[in-house]
């Protein structure tokens, strides 16, 4: 038997004494003028879906996947903040906050309101989610931010001051200037920038900059932007979640393991290290990370102690802070900051870890989000025209679903499969309600004798959300003689629009009339097998039933639709004597067994070689060489030196392999009065149609890709190359979230001397609207139908990555391979995607016009609604044509309506956007006016108040409060063009290039007896 | 691109609606008279040290080992209980609760007081820890329970009603009747009983019983006892800790995954399953487990919902409850219950998983705890005599360390090594303070001219806590001629005592005098090499320094000491002419090369064969055959059929191997006037001394075992066998926590038909005081110096397991092999232990006298204090002999003072214990009286109030409140002998067999002018 006397003499003293030792920690420190100030920002990062769905994260279910419960975070925050008025906390994701808010008692709500008012709880960023910055469309970013900001304004009367995009995988110019400066943020913080960039910035103390994201708006839309030195987590050893194993501050001398001095030393040392790479005597510590503060008390208990003892020590000054306080402290130093332009794409966190795969991951989800985005824009217009009803269907659930889908693990494609399914389900539910709203709104407009009067419409309009898989029950009926189909075609754009409509039909004998009964030329294009296969498989997969008899043709005809309005067409069985659709002439040819192919009967001709290879683009002015090809990258399984795999986030190719068109498969040529097509089966799992419209000068390329074979055990990332003979000098241009274009130079970064490790992955950029390149004479532009990754990996060539199927996880947390499948009766096959891109040559300096205007058409396709033209339909008088704006007025060609939406109390939210950048087009990149009065025929504008972008404060107020940051080496502000103030009588709005202006419009009551 | 429309129609409805849905759950359910009542008991089980130390668990440090922070539990409990007055919580471990309490503000303390008063927070069990039940001594169990109960009484004015020993590994009779009924508990709940027993009890609905743990006290000390059906956790799927993955109740129809009906069904089904094995319409669910409720809100949130929805469902009645409410509900049914006698040892949770290894695990720690326990008892007496001082040293920290060491992962030996070190450190610190107290108290008593007056004593007494490794600096000095050493010998027992003192000395020429100067016969026994090696190695290991010159001899002499008092002896260099110590005669002999050996010169002779094997025990009356041997079990590494390994908890042998004494090693025979010894090296790592004292009839066997070799990769469990020729018919007796003896029958259980799977491990029982067996003529008893495991695996033989060293973990959570080492300068060797056991033959019916009286001497050894007998010492007048009780009075032979301790306000706590069981001894198992007045000479007893065992309420009050449980098939209460009420004038206390009576004694002021 042996005594263990280990150092007990040391420990005598206070040990085991029983006197009370209730401690009051001094947490009152503010900013110290000379010491290093360590701003402790208590925060949680709550993904609005990732490994679990948003609802699972909220309630804390499915914890076997990830222990995370946002309800805990918010529940525990309240008493933790009440316990000490110096404690502060920030909260970001409104999707969670709103769920929580409606669960709370009035008492808790009232407490939380006080916490917000006192600044203890600061709601920052404030959108529904922390949206991704690579793949969302800027309209979605605005909408989801607005949704959150409105809620915050309504419930708390405050406006978020800080952009807090700490987790997204790279940062966009649009985020900085539009979703930053233009929503009134004073600063913008983030955690992820390229590792090479970060190293240089640490060295130069330039992690914190003034960022001007827009060439056009320059310093008028700049923001103070700070990249964190490592990530958005606490310094190593300062994690205090329940069960975290960082050493807690043990300050009870009556217990063993007292460690106050040790912990203070750790703190000071981490602070000094960060001070070394930071300008001014202010550094920020992000005290939290993913889903932390489930029991907020565990963090604050330690933070209280750290502040108390660190400040007693006195070497540095520790304080409870928020990004707002930090920002103000930085600002108060009156320093000038390095200037940053452009963006922070692509992001790499290692030599072989370029996060450029996710630009394309889950292409079907990306397309679904984009389609819903355009539909939501149109639906809000129709909701406005009809008037929101409290009882009927509305657009709110689609708004919510779309907002959530912008999350940086949603549309980005970096979530688990079941979570991707959840986003899609939410969109489908939101769509279903909105579809009903759209149908009833159209019915109202059709049935009402005067605009804006809607009774109880009887017309049942049907729409075809599954048109993408050639499935449209209302148009697939066999029309008996004398019966017909009414097609209402709605145009959400602000201009009258000529476009082609394309619907599947069963019959060969069809005639189309406009609303005046005039015959409309139409063409029937046979629906080829690959489309029919897609249709039958996916109807079964997603609707759980057989698709029924297949339609034989696409019926195609031109329509003309007024701005924000509709036209009506009727489709009927052709009478023997009347006009009827032209059947396309169809040739099937074998590669090499022909003398070359050409399609296009209008302005544009496209030539193919005898083997089926596209060779030339010929319009009236020029003949341009162009070739299309496909290849795949085999996804890396990691190498011995670096185990990094290609996955949902990361594009790490292990070689690239061309996919040559089959030489034995027949190709199909379709000619007709409206459309010419060239169909070819590239290989057993890629089908391509090249399409040319009469009177259009772009080529439409439609692809069906999948299932990508994996029976060789190799994950594949499928790309297409569009090659020209242009000399592009490594330079190309990609859009930022569908808005500004940014110059990209292959193997080059503006901000640092790039070490090229991944020649393909490291040159990929996100594409939302399009990509273009130019030489001394011309521009070559490609537009896309969803976000994709792309690049120009050799001069004159553009590459788009269209689909990815991978077999390994890339170790960024999702722990699943990106291997999407579609299942019928438990038999699953790899996901097949279908999509389009569009290309066109233009003379140098003239490409923007097509990119901007056709880009609008891609984003806002015509909305089709069908009704049976039975007796009931015809006997009522009908409105066959409608425009929501003054019929004498079209919007200027360079201005778009981003939002027209009814607000509470009959007000309207209107966003107008200049579509062109400074210098982008000789004629269109100019200050342009819009007459507001023309936009609201039949209403009288009482007041038009200009608002911040997210409409949560008046623009004037926002400008008044805005911090004016100084840029290093810049003495004076440069002049930036902006539209002037709006004269309340004239109500004419000027917009400068790239400007977006947001208004809340109040209407005077017309014809009403008096104000209540 | 494909839409995912999964069942969205189903989900329409309330989805994503934004109206407030603040829910108020109806949690008010009480007991329902006819439905099945599911008592939801929210609890946490907080080990007072196990994988982490008690302080680490409290503050939540060292979380890499185990995520556990009791501070979180208690912090989060308060708001959770405040949030709903129906919520209830129980808390058990006062070691944690007291730490927490002294950290709290007065506001929180006041809130918690209200929660306790309202019954929302119920403090149950209430000791400092949930003590083990196999290896602690009953005095330690009482002391640690008292410590907790006092605190609760003082702070909250309440007395715990419920025994809650949910985790200990088997349950003792003493726990049930003494620490249960006698502390006033109404019921007692636990989680672990033998798996075979449990199966039978579930089948017979006899998990809940009336338990009478004491033969002697019978129904007067019975308790309602409930074993849980599985463990102390919630039913599967009802775990709600932060990050637990049980399905939460998702009752928000506006979110996905609504599951209320599913969860209600789960609940009802689990309830009905338990109802099937439980009598009455009340079942208890233990809603919690180890270190849960770190964020109590997460549990209560779900429990609220379950109660609300289950009761809406109505099939069963769910309610917030506590074990008290459950107990009262059971009682209210007026049912009779099965009777349980004896105990629940040994515990097995599988065929090869007998938790009987821990009876011996960490034998050094077990001994340390036992030594400290006896020392604490003595020190409190001395503290009482001196009077507690607020400033000076006291016994509190030893009390606390000892209390914590009784935890079921402390003295049990089932903690991690660093935690075992922590317990030892606490004991060492507590000892150090108590040692100072003892020294000053003795100095006071020695220096004071009248008792109970203590100035500022100058005598510096030294003690020798490391005497066990032959290290005693004060006695190891070379005494110069004329100088001497004063030895004060304190006797904590209530009788005058003759005993042998043994101290290491350097000199050969020594004389010993008593306080009158009379010569005392003494003997010098050479200290043999194994002891010197132990000394030098462990002094270095534990004190970090060289032990210095080694003492040559043990100086041995007889002393006579008054009850609760001391005698003084002086030791000096023998003068040429005076008396001097007798040097022992020492023979060294080789096995086989002699004609047999015999030791003992008084009443007892022990004979050995020529080979050194003990053969006979010979006293005046009889010659008994007796043999000693050693063996080891090789620890199982698991088998293919069952991976269970032998480890800290579990004894699973894989064969047993005899250890034969070496035939080439010389044996040593020591003869002397006081002690005869026979030393033999059993093998290279076992050394044994057989020792016989003149005038004593027991044999003392001292062993040094270790380091147990493991270079063969085999863990070993070392046992010794003591064999007689008795016919014991499978029957033997082991004590319950050092108090009652319980009959054990090999391969047999009283309560069920035992299936024997582990013939050794399954017959092991815990031994604290001793083990004995008998035949028609005699008894053979063995007493031990610490808790060990033992058995009688064949008739006439007793086996004790003395040491264990194992190489694998036995998968009960500790995740370490039980492989204790001792290190010097980073070189570690397996732990060597040294210890003793004692055996004796007695005529049938007479063994108890030795077992009880000598057992007291083992537990309470003489306390030795040394001072230099310099001029300073001699020049003052000294008290050389002292008794704390009336010098004319000894306690009756069958009564012991368990506690004499000063309370606040000068009161005394006195516990008197009858040492004999009913029928155990013809003369001594009788009602016996103690004269209280004699125990406090010089004081006048004002009032003696009889208290419950833990002294937290008056005994009368306790009896008044006690629930009287009915036993099945028993119509009337049987008469039980108990001492009668104490006449306040006579102050004579009667004690019946096994009775312990506890008094708070108030004293009248003597010689004081008036009451203040």
Query: In this predicted model, what pLDDT tens digit does every residue of B500-544 receive, in sequence order?
Result: 999 999 988 899 999 888 999 999 999 999 999 999 999 999 999
What average pLDDT is seen over chain B?
Answer: 94
pLDDT score, position B478: 81
Burial A928-965 (b: 16+ CB within 10 A, else e): bebebbbbbeebebeebbbbbbbbbbebeebeeeeeeb
SS3 of B485, please? strand
Determine whether the interchain pair A1/B833 forms a contact, defined as Cβ–Cβ distance below 8 Å. yes
DSSP state string for A436-504:
HHHHHHHHHHHH-SSTT---------B--TTGGGT--GGGSS-PPTT-EEEEEEEE-SSS-EEEEEEEE
Residues B663-669 have a mean pLDDT of: 88
- Give percent of chain B with pLDDT exceeding 70: 96
Residues B255-277 have a mean pLDDT of: 98
Q: Which residues pair with A941 in a beta bridge?
A: A1003
Residues B665-681 have a mean pLDDT of: 95
DSSP state string for A23-68:
----------SSSPEEEEEE--B--SSSSS-HHHHHHT--TTT---
Give the torsion sign (CA, A849, A853, A859, A861): negative
Q: State how far the Cα of A70 lies from the Cα of B239, in Å rounded to an integer.
A: 18
Phi and psi at residue B916, to the nearest 5°: -115, 150
Peptide bond into A572 cis (omega under 30): no
pLDDT at B196 over 90: yes
Determine whether the interchain pair B396/A16 forms a contact, defined as Cβ–Cβ distance below 8 Å. yes
Residues A730-738 have a mean pLDDT of: 98
- Residues of A numbered 693-712 whose beta carbons fall under 8 angstroms of chain B's beta carbons: which are they? none
pLDDT score, position B8: 32
**CB nearest to B75's CB, from A58, A297, A541:** A297
Peptide bond into A504 cis (omega under 30): no
Q: Which of B6, B107, B429, B435 to mutate to test the interface with A (most CBs of A within 10 A)?
A: B429
pLDDT score, position B785: 98
Q: Are strands B336-337 and B966-967 parallel, antiparallel or unpaired?
A: parallel
Contact between A290 and A409 under an 8 Å Cβ cutoff? The reply is: no
Closest chain B residue to A833, measured at CA: B1
d(CA A519, nearest CA chain B) in Å: 34
Query: Taking CB atoms and an 8 Å cutoff, what residues of chain B touch A294?
Result: 242-243, 295
pLDDT score, position A146: 98
Q: Which residues does A871 contact at the CB level (< 8 Å), separation at least 6?
A: none
d(CA B472, nearest CA chain A) in Å: 14
Residues B564-586 have a mean pLDDT of: 90
Q: Which residues pair with B491 in a beta bridge?
A: B565
- Residues of B numbered 20-39 whose beta carbons fall under 8 angstroms of chain A's beta carbons: which are they? 20-23
Contact between B563 and B884 under an 8 Å Cβ cutoff? The reply is: yes
Determine whether the interchain pair A243/B294 forms a contact, defined as Cβ–Cβ distance below 8 Å. yes
Closest chain A residue to B18, measured at CA: A102
pLDDT band at B547 (very low <50, low <70, confident <90, very high): confident
Query: Taking CB atoms and an 8 Å cutoff, what residues of chain A touch B242?
Result: 67, 69, 72, 242-243, 294-295
Closest chain A residue to B703, measured at CA: A1
**CB nearest to A59's CB, from B105, B245, B248:** B248
- Residues of B numbered 231-290 whose beta carbons fall under 8 angstroms of chain A's beta carbons: which are they? 242-245, 247-248, 250, 252, 255-257
How many Cβ atoms are within 10 Å of A813's Cβ, its own excluded? 17
Q: State how far the Cα of B5 lies from the Cα of A430, in Å rounded to an integer.
A: 11
- Give percent of chain B with pLDDT exceeding 90: 87
d(CA B169, nearest CA chain A) in Å: 24
A545 at B interface, C-beta within 8 A? no
pLDDT score, position B10: 30
Closest chain B residue to A11, measured at CA: B429
DSSP state string for A78-95:
HHHHHH-TT--EEE--HH
**CB nearest to B102's CB, from A21, A424, A426:** A21
Determine whether the interchain pair B11/A425 forms a contact, defined as Cβ–Cβ distance below 8 Å. yes
Query: In this predicted model, what pLDDT tens digit does every residue of A735-788 receive, in sequence order?
Result: 999 999 999 999 999 999 999 999 999 999 999 999 999 999 999 999 999 999
Closest chain A residue to B63, measured at CA: A245
Contact between B895 and B494 under an 8 Å Cβ cutoff? The reply is: yes
pLDDT score, position A7: 32
Residues B395-421 have a mean pLDDT of: 98
DSSP state string for B203-231:
HHT-SEEEEE--TTTGGGGEEEEEE-SS-
Query: In this predicted model, what pLDDT tens digit does every residue of A337-356 receive, in sequence order?
Result: 999 999 999 999 999 999 99
Q: State how far the Cα of B269 lies from the Cα of B66, in Å rounded to an integer.
A: 33
SS3 of B682, please? strand
d(CA B469, nearest CA chain A) in Å: 8
Angstrom distances, CA of residue A965 to CA of A193, A333, A339? 22, 11, 10
**CB nearest to B53's CB, from A5, A63, A256:** A256
A973 at B interface, C-beta within 8 A? no
Residues B153-179 have a mean pLDDT of: 98
A12 at B interface, C-beta within 8 A? yes
SS3 of A895, please? strand
Query: In this predicted model, what pLDDT tens digit does every residue of A375-434 receive, in sequence order?
Result: 999 999 999 999 987 778 999 999 999 999 999 999 999 999 999 999 999 999 999 999
Q: Which residues does A312 contact at the CB level (< 8 Å), separation at least 6?
A: none
The rounded radius of gyration (Å) of the Cα atoms in chain B is 30
Residues A985-1002 have a mean pLDDT of: 97
- Tracing tokens 């880009």 back to the chain, one arrives at A855
pLDDT score, position B971: 79
Helices (H) and strands (E) in chain B, counts: 19, 49
Strands (E) in B727-830, as ranges, are 731-735, 741-745, 765-767, 770-774, 778-784, 788-791, 797-805, 821-824, 827-830
pLDDT at B76 over 70: yes
Query: In this predicted model, what pLDDT tens digit does every residue of A211-266 receive, in sequence order?
Result: 999 999 999 999 999 999 999 999 999 999 999 999 999 999 999 999 999 999 99
Range name among A270-274, A510-514, A553-557, B124-128 with the lowest pLDDT average: A510-514
Closest chain B residue to A835, measured at CA: B1
Q: State how far the Cα of A518 lies from the Cα of A514, in Å rounded to an integer.
A: 5
Query: Cα B9 vs. chain centroid, distance in angstroms?
Result: 65
B61 at A interface, C-beta within 8 A? yes
pLDDT score, position A620: 83
**CB nearest to B5's CB, from A20, A58, A428:** A428
Query: In this predicted model, what pLDDT tens digit does every residue of B702-737 receive, in sequence order?
Result: 999 999 999 999 999 999 999 999 999 999 999 999
Q: Residue B257: name the closest of A443, A425, A415, A885 by CA.
A: A425
Angstrom distances, CA of residue A956 to CA of A587, A707, A932, A962? 64, 54, 19, 10
Query: Taking CB atoms and an 8 Å cutoff, what residues of chain B touch A21?
Result: 102-103
B743 at A interface, C-beta within 8 A? no
pLDDT band at B424 (very low <50, low <70, confident <90, very high): very high
pLDDT score, position B13: 32
What average pLDDT is seen over chain A?
Answer: 94
Query: In this predicted model, what pLDDT tens digit does every residue of B907-945 receive, in sequence order?
Result: 999 999 999 999 999 999 999 999 999 999 989 999 999
Peptide bond into B783 cis (omega under 30): no
> B553: which 2 tokens?
């001899």
- Tracing tokens 């006009």 back to the chain, one arrives at A579
B730 at A interface, C-beta within 8 A? no
**CB nearest to B3's CB, from A9, A252, A428:** A428
Query: Taking CB atoms and an 8 Å cutoff, what residues of chain B touch A429?
Result: 8, 11-12, 15-16
Query: Taking CB atoms and an 8 Å cutoff, what residues of chain B touch A367?
Result: 1
Query: Taking CB atoms and an 8 Å cutoff, what residues of chain A touch B425?
Result: 4-8, 11, 256
Residues B649-675 have a mean pLDDT of: 92
Residues A866-891 have a mean pLDDT of: 82
Query: Cα A127 vs. chain centroid, distance in angstroms?
Result: 13
pLDDT score, position A13: 32
The rounded radius of gyration (Å) of the Cα atoms in chain A is 30
Looking at residue B331, the DSSP 8-state letter turns out to be H
Query: Taking CB atoms and an 8 Å cutoff, what residues of chain B touch A103?
Result: 21-23, 252
pLDDT at A19 over 70: no
pLDDT score, position A664: 80
pLDDT score, position B390: 72
- Residues of B numbered 468-527 whose beta carbons fall under 8 angstroms of chain A's beta carbons: which are they? 468-469
Give the H or E element holding residue B143: helix B138-156
Q: State how far the Cα of B759 lies from the Cα of A67, in Å rounded to an integer.
A: 46
d(CA A532, nearest CA chain B) in Å: 14
Closest chain A residue to B296, measured at CA: A295
Q: Where are the alpha helices (DSSP H) in A88-137?
A: 94-103, 106-118
Query: In this predicted model, what pLDDT tens digit does every residue of A289-303 receive, in sequence order?
Result: 999 999 999 999 999
How many Cβ atoms are within 10 Å of A893's Cβ, its own excluded? 17
Q: State how far the Cα of B168 lies from the Cα of B184, in Å rounded to an integer.
A: 20
> B108: which 2 tokens?
């929180």
pLDDT score, position A1: 34
- Which pairs from A448-456 meet CB under 8 Å and 24+ separation? A448/A879, A449/A877, A449/A879, A451/A385, A451/A882, A451/A937, A451/A938, A452/A385, A452/A387, A452/A938, A454/A386, A454/A387
Indicate whether this complex's ipTM tops 0.85: yes
Q: Are strands A597-599 and A605-608 parallel, antiparallel or unpaired?
A: antiparallel
Range name among A752-761, B27-36, B326-335, B613-622 with the lowest pLDDT average: B613-622
Q: Which residues does A391 contact at the CB level (< 8 Å), separation at least 6?
A: none
Q: State how far the Cα of A474 lies from the Cα of A548, in Å rounded to an integer.
A: 13
Query: In this predicted model, what pLDDT tens digit does every residue of B344-389 receive, in sequence order?
Result: 999 999 999 999 999 999 999 999 999 999 999 999 999 999 998 7
């Amino acid at each position: 038997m042996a005594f263990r006397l280990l150092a007990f003499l040391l420990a005598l003293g206070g040990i085991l004494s029983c006197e009370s030792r209730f401690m009051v920690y001094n947490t009152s420190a503010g900013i110290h003028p000379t010491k290093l100030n360590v701003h402790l920002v208590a925060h949680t990062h709550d993904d609005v879906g990732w490994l679990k769905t948003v609802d699972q994260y909220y309630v804390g279910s499915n914890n076997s996947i990830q222990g995370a419960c946002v309800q805990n975070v918010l529940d525990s925050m309240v008493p933790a903040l009440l316990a000490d008025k110096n404690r502060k906390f920030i909260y970001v994701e409104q999707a969670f906050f709103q769920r929580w808010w409606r669960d709370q008692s009035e008492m808790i709500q009232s407490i939380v309101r006080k916490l917000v008012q006192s600044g203890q709880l600061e709601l920052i960023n404030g959108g529904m989610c922390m949206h991704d910055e690579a793949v969302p469309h800027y309209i979605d970013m605005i909408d989801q931010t607005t949704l959150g900001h409105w809620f915050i304004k309504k419930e708390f009367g405050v406006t978020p001051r800080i952009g807090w995009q700490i987790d997204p995988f790279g940062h966009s110019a649009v985020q900085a200037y539009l979703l930053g400066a233009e929503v009134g943020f004073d600063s913008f913080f983030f955690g992820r920038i390229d590792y090479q960039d970060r190293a240089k910035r640490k060295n130069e103390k330039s992690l914190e900059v003034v960022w001007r994201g827009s060439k056009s708006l320059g310093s008028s839309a700049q923001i103070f932007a700070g990249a964190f030195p490592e990530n958005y987590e606490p310094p190593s050893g300062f994690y205090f979640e329940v069960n975290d194993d960082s050493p807690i501050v043990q300050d009870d001398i009556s217990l063993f393991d007292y460690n106050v001095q040790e912990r203070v030393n750790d703190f000071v040392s981490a602070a000094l290290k960060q001070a070394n790479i930071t300008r001014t005597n202010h550094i920020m510590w992000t005290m939290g990370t993913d889903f932390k503060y489930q029991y907020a008390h565990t963090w604050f208990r330690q933070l209280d102690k750290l502040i108390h003892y660190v400040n007693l020590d006195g070497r540095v000054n520790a304080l409870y802070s928020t990004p707002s306080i930090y920002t103000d402290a930085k600002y108060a130093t009156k320093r000038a900051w390095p200037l940053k332009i452009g963006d922070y794409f692509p992001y790499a966190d290692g030599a072989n870890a370029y996060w450029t795969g996710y630009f394309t991951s889950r292409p079907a989800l990306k397309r679904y989000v984009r389609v819903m985005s355009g539909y939501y824009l149109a639906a809000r217009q129709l909701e406005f025209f009809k008037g929101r009803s409290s009882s009927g269907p509305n657009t709110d659930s689609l708004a919510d679903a779309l907002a959530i889908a912008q999350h940086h693990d949603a549309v980005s494609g970096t979530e688990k499969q079941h979570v991707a399914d959840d986003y899609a389900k939410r969109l489908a539910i939101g769509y279903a309600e909105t579809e009903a709203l759209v149908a009833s709104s159209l019915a109202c407009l059709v049935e009402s004798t005067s605009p804006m009067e809607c009774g109880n419409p009887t017309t049942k309009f049907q729409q075809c959300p599954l048109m993408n898989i050639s499935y449209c029950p209302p148009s697939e009926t066999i029309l008996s003689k004398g019966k017909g189909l009414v097609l209402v075609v709605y145009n959400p754009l602000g201009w009258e629009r000529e476009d082609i409509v394309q619907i599947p039909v069963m019959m060969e004998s069809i005639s189309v009339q406009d609303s005046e009964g005039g015959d409309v030329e139409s063409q029937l294009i046979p629906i080829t097998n690959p489309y029919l296969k897609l249709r039958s498989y996916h109807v079964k997969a997603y609707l759980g039933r057989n698709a029924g008899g297949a339609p034989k043709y696409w019926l195609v005809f031109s329509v003309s639709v007024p701005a924000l309005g509709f036209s009506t067409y009727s489709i009927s069985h052709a009478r023997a004597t009347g006009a009827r659709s032209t059947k396309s002439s169809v040739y099937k040819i074998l590669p090499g067994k022909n003398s070359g192919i050409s399609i296009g009967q209008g302005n544009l001709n496209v030539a193919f070689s005898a083997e089926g290879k596209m060779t030339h683009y010929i319009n009236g002015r020029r003949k341009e060489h162009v070739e299309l090809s496909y290849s795949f990258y085999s996804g890396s399984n990691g190498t011995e030196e670096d185990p990094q795999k290609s996955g949902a986030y990361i594009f790490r190719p292990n070689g690239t392999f061309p996919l040559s068109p089959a030489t034995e498969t027949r190709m199909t040529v379709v000619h007709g009065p409206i459309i010419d097509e060239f169909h070819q089966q590239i290989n057993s799992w890629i089908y391509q149609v090249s399409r040319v419209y009469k009177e259009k000068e772009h080529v439409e390329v439609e692809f069906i890709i999948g299932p990508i074979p994996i029976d060789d055990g190799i994950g594949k990332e499928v790309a297409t190359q569009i090659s020209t003979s242009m000399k592009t000098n490594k330079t190309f241009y990609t859009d930022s979230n569908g808005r500004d274009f940014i110059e990209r130079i292959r193997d080059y970064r503006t901000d640092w001397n790039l070490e090229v490790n991944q020649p393909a992955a490291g040159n990929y950029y996100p594409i939302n609207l399009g990509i273009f390149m130019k030489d001394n004479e011309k521009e070559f532009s490609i537009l896309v139908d969803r976000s994709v990754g792309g690049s120009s990996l050799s001069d004159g060539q553009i590459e788009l990555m269209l689909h990815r199927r991978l077999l390994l996880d890339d170790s960024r947390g999702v722990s699943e391979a990106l291997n999407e499948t579609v299942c019928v009766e438990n038999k699953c096959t790899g996901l097949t995607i279908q999509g389009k891109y569009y290309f066109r040559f233009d003379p140098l300096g003239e490409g923007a016009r097509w990119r901007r205007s056709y880009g609008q058409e891609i984003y806002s396709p015509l909305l089709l609604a069908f009704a049976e033209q039975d007796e009931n339909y015809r006997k009522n008088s009908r409105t066959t044509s409608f425009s929501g704006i003054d019929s004498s007025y079209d919007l200027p060609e360079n201005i778009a309506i981003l939002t027209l939406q009814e607000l509470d109390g009959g007000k309207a939210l209107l966003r107008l956007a200049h579509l062109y950048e400074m210098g982008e087009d000789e004629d269109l990149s100019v200050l342009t006016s819009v007459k507001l009065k023309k936009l609201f025929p039949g209403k009288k504008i009482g007041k038009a108040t200009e608002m911040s972008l997210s409409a949560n404060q008046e623009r004037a107020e926002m400008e008044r409060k805005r911090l004016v940051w100084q840029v290093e080496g810049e003495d004076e502000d440069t002049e930036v063009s902006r539209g002037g103030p709006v004269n309340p009588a004239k109500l004419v709005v000027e917009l400068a290039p790239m400007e977006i202006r947001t208004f809340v419009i109040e209407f005077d009551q017309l014809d009403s007896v008096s104000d209540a």
